[in-house]
Structure 1
């Protein structure tokens, strides 16, 4: 049997295996700014932006910056409800 054209064995210790990766592992959450109304840092897997419930998305309350969203008008919340 000619083994000249067989692919080289794969070292699974050095390769990623399907389903094994953590898609959020490479995201550095220590640098993401959070507002008091955020449930998680922006960009966290399983989260999304929603309108700030306190200011209705304006970023202002009584002419000052909304303390809940810190003027962004949005908060980061969990999605999916698992």
Structure 2
């Protein structure tokens, strides 16, 4: 996995899979409690996956992180 871009300030994520030449752009939605996110000026970070194994690993880690956060904070919706 390779990450390209300014990792400090991001409001758009571009996910790329090199093996099948697929790309998916994710735009951050403004939060109801945060008024200073400017989505009109994209600050893009690109995450490039070499294969599906890297993608599966990232999904597993994010699911574990989500579960851990919800156990401490509760679910926000």
What interval of TM-score do these two structures reach, taking the shorter chain for normalisation? under 0.3
TM superposition score normalised by structure 2: 0.21
Bigger share in helix: 2
Bigger share in strand: 2
Indicate the structure (1 or 2) with the bigger Cα radius of gyration: 1
